[in-house]
């Protein structure tokens, strides 16, 4: 894997299966075309990606995404002072070890998301990270309905920033589909899980353990719909 070069718009992704690293192509690759992966989080704006690449890997990327600074306007949309506050709050979150800590995280997310209404769109990457954080907190606190509310708000930004076949989008769709299933929203859950399946069969492969879990939930959803 260390022989693979970087691109901010790679043609391959790496996924884990236990202790194994699996390499999957996410689009058609031409004969002689170089295999590439992204060394950094593609959600970051161009300047942040470049800074991290120079700091960690001592090179600057000149791919088309970096040249065009594509989607940077959407990533940092909204009022700068507001998203900087959200960015600081997201960066300050450490993985909670207790329910009380998760409650504190959720309360912080709720307050910021409420005060940001009308100031930041969900496509702002720090707002998006805050929604993800709120969703995680709700899941850990077993607040399924609220978790679904936050998770549903992430789907449009995820489709914008992780288009085509991307493992993060597949996993997010699966999580939201599971939450829809838990709320008895079987038609919606089935549609969301189908979207996750179509991406995950490319990014993870049909034999991946996560894919098997997805198939089980999808089949359960099918069965529940037949009973209705």
Residue 73 — very low, low, confident or very high, per pLDDT cuts 50/70/90? very high
For 159-206, how does the pLDDT look when each residue is reduced to its tens digit (9 = 90+)? 999 999 999 999 999 999 999 999 999 999 999 999 999 999 999 999
pTM tops 0.85: yes
In this prediction, residues 110-132 reach a mean pLDDT of 96
User: 192: which residues sit within 8 A by CB, 6+ positions away?
Assistant: 173, 176, 177, 180
What is the residue-averaged pLDDT of the chain? Answer: 94
Residue 1 — very low, low, confident or very high, per pLDDT cuts 50/70/90? low
In this prediction, residues 209-218 reach a mean pLDDT of 96
The rounded distance, in Å, linking the Cα atoms of 189 and 215 is: 12
| Contact between 187 and 225 (Cβ < 8 Å) | yes
The domains located in the chain, with CATH, are: 1-70 (2.170.270.10), 74-155 (1.25.40.970), 162-228 (1.25.40.10)
- Give the percent of the chain with pLDDT over 70: 99
pLDDT, residue 114, reads 95
Name which of 186, 203, 150, 181 is nearest 22 in CA terms.
Answer: 203
Q: What tokens does 82 get?
A: 């507001």
Name which of 144, 145, 150 is nearest 131 in CA terms.
Answer: 150
CA distances from 147 to 116, 157, 176, 224 (A): 18, 17, 8, 22
In this prediction, residues 97-118 reach a mean pLDDT of 95
pLDDT for 218 beyond 90? yes
For 124-163, how does the pLDDT look when each residue is reduced to its tens digit (9 = 90+)? 999 999 999 999 999 999 999 999 999 999 999 999 999 9
In this prediction, residues 47-61 reach a mean pLDDT of 94
For 25-41, how does the pLDDT look when each residue is reduced to its tens digit (9 = 90+)? 999 999 999 999 999 99
3-state secondary structure the chain: CCCCEECCCCCEEEEEECCEEEEEECCCCCCCCCCEECCCCCCCCHHHHHHHHHHHHCCCCCCHHHHHCCCHHHHCCCCHHHHHHHHHHHHHCCCCCCHHHHHHHHHHHHHHHHHCCCCCCCCCHHHHHHHHHHHHHHHHCCCHHHHHHHHHHHHHHHHHHCCCCCHHHHHHHHHHHHHHHHCCCHHHHHHHHHHHHHHHHHHCCCCCHHHHHHHHHHHHHHHHHHHC
């Amino acid at each position: 894997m260390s022989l693979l070069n970087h691109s901010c718009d790679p043609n391959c992704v790496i996924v884990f299966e236990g202790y194994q690293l699996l390499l999957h192509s996410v689009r058609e690759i031409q004969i002689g075309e170089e295999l590439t992966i992204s060394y950094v989080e593609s959600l970051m704006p161009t300047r942040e990606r470049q800074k991290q690449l120079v700091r960690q890997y001592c090179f600057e990327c000149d791919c088309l995404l970096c040249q065009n600074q594509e989607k940077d306007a959407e990533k940092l949309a909204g009022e700068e002072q507001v998203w900087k506050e959200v960015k600081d709050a997201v960066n300050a979150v450490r993985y909670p070890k207790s329910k009380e800590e998760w409650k504190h995280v959720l309360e912080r997310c709720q307050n910021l998301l409420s005060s940001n209404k009308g100031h930041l769109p969900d496509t702002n990457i720090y707002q998006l990270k805050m929604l993800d954080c709120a969703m995680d907190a709700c899941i850990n606190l077993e607040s399924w309905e609220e978790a679904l509310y936050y998770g549903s708000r992430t789907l449009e930004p995820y489709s914008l920033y992780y288009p085509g076949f991307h493992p993060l989008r597949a996993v997010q769709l699966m999580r939201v589909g599971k939450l829809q299933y838990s709320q008895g929203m079987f038609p919606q859950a089935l549609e969301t899980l189908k979207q996750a399946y179509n991406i995950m069969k490319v990014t993870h492969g049909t034999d991946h353990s996560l894919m098997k879990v997805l198939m089980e939930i999808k089949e359960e959803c099918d069965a529940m719909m037949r009973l209705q």
